[in-house]
């Protein structure tokens, strides 16, 4: 079994927290792992938000396994979480699984350019809070017989698909970043927005969220 040696206990704790949040939204979640050198990227897709979440993890030493110096595998998020040893700063890579469709494709690796107009972190959090309050208010106004799944989904889609200023970034991407622990108060560096092709990526020091400008309904990702 391949064992990943993480940079320190903090990296192990952050990885465990990210996996726990993914499992909160999908108990059967899978993640795609890619390791090159001392960098490990963990990709997940929480279904409630329709975004691709990426958590970068630092390794204590360059990845190596036999004659291989790269890792690219899709595994169970639950099994990976169970293998994380925070005190020892290690994680064992579980057996590969047949991943969901999104796991076979990823956003572009390069070509990302800055996008202007993204508000500061506090304003982003206020936008999410306002959207959550609006969703609750509008659903509570409905009669009980009108609170069907399709009606609630319609309201949610309208609210969360709204874009922020002129950036094209949907509010749901910011909601996902906050819910996954990426948009933290007092972060050492501000959130940044970058674009590559049809993709937008909200980057923070704790992780990033990628989304197609027109949504993820049709995956137009680059196969990797």
The CATH number of the domain where 43 resides is what? 3.10.150
Residues 81 and 151 in one domain: no
Average pLDDT over residues 9-23: 96
Query: Are residues 138 and 36 part of one domain?
Result: no
- Do 77 and 51 share a domain, yes or no? yes
In the chain, the number of structural domains is 2
Is residue 117 domain-shared with residue 101, that is, in the same domain? no
- The number of residues in the chain equals 224
Shared domain for 90 and 126, answered yes or no, is no
| pLDDT bracket for residue 186 (50, 70, 90) | confident
Q: Is the pLDDT of residue 215 over 60?
A: no
Q: Are residues 119 and 209 in the same domain?
A: yes
Tell me the C-alpha to C-alpha distance, in Å, between residue 188 and each of 37, 132, 166: 25, 26, 26
Instruction: Determine how many CB atoms are found less than 10 A away from the CB of residue 28.
Output: 10
Note the pTM of the prediction, 2 decimals.
0.88
Q: How much is the pLDDT for 80?
A: 98
Q: In b/e form, how buried is each residue of 75-96, taking b as 16+ CB within 10 angstroms?
A: bbbbbbbebbebeebebebbee
pLDDT at position 214 is: 62
The answer on 123 and 100 residing in a single domain is no
Q: Which domain holds residue 98?
A: 3-105
User: In whole angstroms, how far apart are CA 44 and each of 53, 54, 85, 145, 153?
Assistant: 5, 7, 20, 35, 22
Which residues on adjacent β-strands are paired with residue 44? 53
Per the structure block, which two tokens stand in for 179?
């819910």
CA angle (224 as vertex; 183, 212 as ends), nearest 5:
45
The answer to whether residue 219 scores a pLDDT higher than 50 is no
**Shared-domain flag, residues 128 and 214:** yes
Indicate whether 221 pLDDT > 50.
no
CB 44 within 8 A of CB 34: no
Residue 223 has pLDDT above 90, yes or no: no
Q: Distance between CA 59 and CA 35 in Å, rounded? A: 9
* pLDDT at residue 132, as a whole number: 95
User: Would the CA dihedral through 55, 112, 173, 118 be positive or negative?
Assistant: positive
Q: Are residues 185 and 137 in the same domain?
A: yes
- pLDDT digit string, tens, across residues 124-182: 999 999 999 999 999 999 999 999 999 999 999 999 999 998 999 999 999 999 999 99
Domain limit, last residue, from 82, 105, 128: 105
**218 pLDDT exceeds 50?**
no
Predicted confidence (pLDDT) per residue in 54-111, tens digit: 999 999 998 888 767 889 999 999 999 999 999 999 999 999 999 788 988 788 888 9
Co-location of 96 and 129 in the same domain: no
What is the reported pLDDT for 185?
Answer: 78
pLDDT at 67: 64
Radius of gyration of the chain (CA): 18
- Per-residue pLDDT at 121: 87
Same domain (yes/no): 97, 129: no
Q: How far apart are the C-alpha atoms of 112 and 4, rounded to whole Å?
A: 28
Q: Is the pLDDT of residue 217 over 70?
A: no
The torsion angles phi and psi of 134, rounded to 5 degrees, stand at -65, -45
- Which of 80, 105, 130 finishes a domain? 105
**Single residue among 105, 122, 148 that ends a domain in this structure:** 105
52 and 99 inside one domain: yes
Residue 6's pLDDT is: 96
């Amino acid at each position: 079994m391949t064992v990943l040696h993480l940079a320190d206990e903090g990296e192990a704790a952050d990885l465990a927290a990210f996996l726990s949040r993914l499992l909160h939204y999908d108990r059967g979640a899978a993640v795609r792992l890619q390791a090159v050198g001392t960098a490990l990227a963990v990709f997940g897709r929480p279904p409630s938000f329709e975004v691709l979440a990426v958590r970068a993890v630092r390794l204590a030493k360059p990845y190596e396994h036999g004659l291989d110096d790269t890792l690219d595998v899709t595994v169970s998020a639950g099994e990976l979480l169970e293998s994380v040893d925070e005190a020892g700063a290690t994680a064992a890579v579980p057996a590969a699984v047949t991943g969901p469709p999104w796991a076979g494709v990823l956003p572009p690796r390069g070509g990302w350019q800055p996008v202007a107009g993204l508000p500061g972190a506090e304003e982003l959090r206020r936008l999410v809070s306002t959207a959550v309050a609006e969703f609750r208010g509008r659903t509570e106004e409905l009669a009980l017989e009108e609170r069907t799944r399709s009606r609630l989904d319609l309201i949610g889609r309208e609210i969360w698909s709204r874009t922020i200023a002129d950036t094209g970034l949907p509010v749901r991407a910011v909601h996902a970043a906050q819910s996954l622990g990426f948009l933290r108060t007092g972060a050492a560096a501000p959130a940044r927005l970058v674009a590559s092709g049809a993709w937008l990526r909200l980057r923070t020091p704790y992780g990033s969220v990628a989304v197609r400008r027109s949504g993820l309904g049709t995956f137009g990702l680059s196969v990797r």
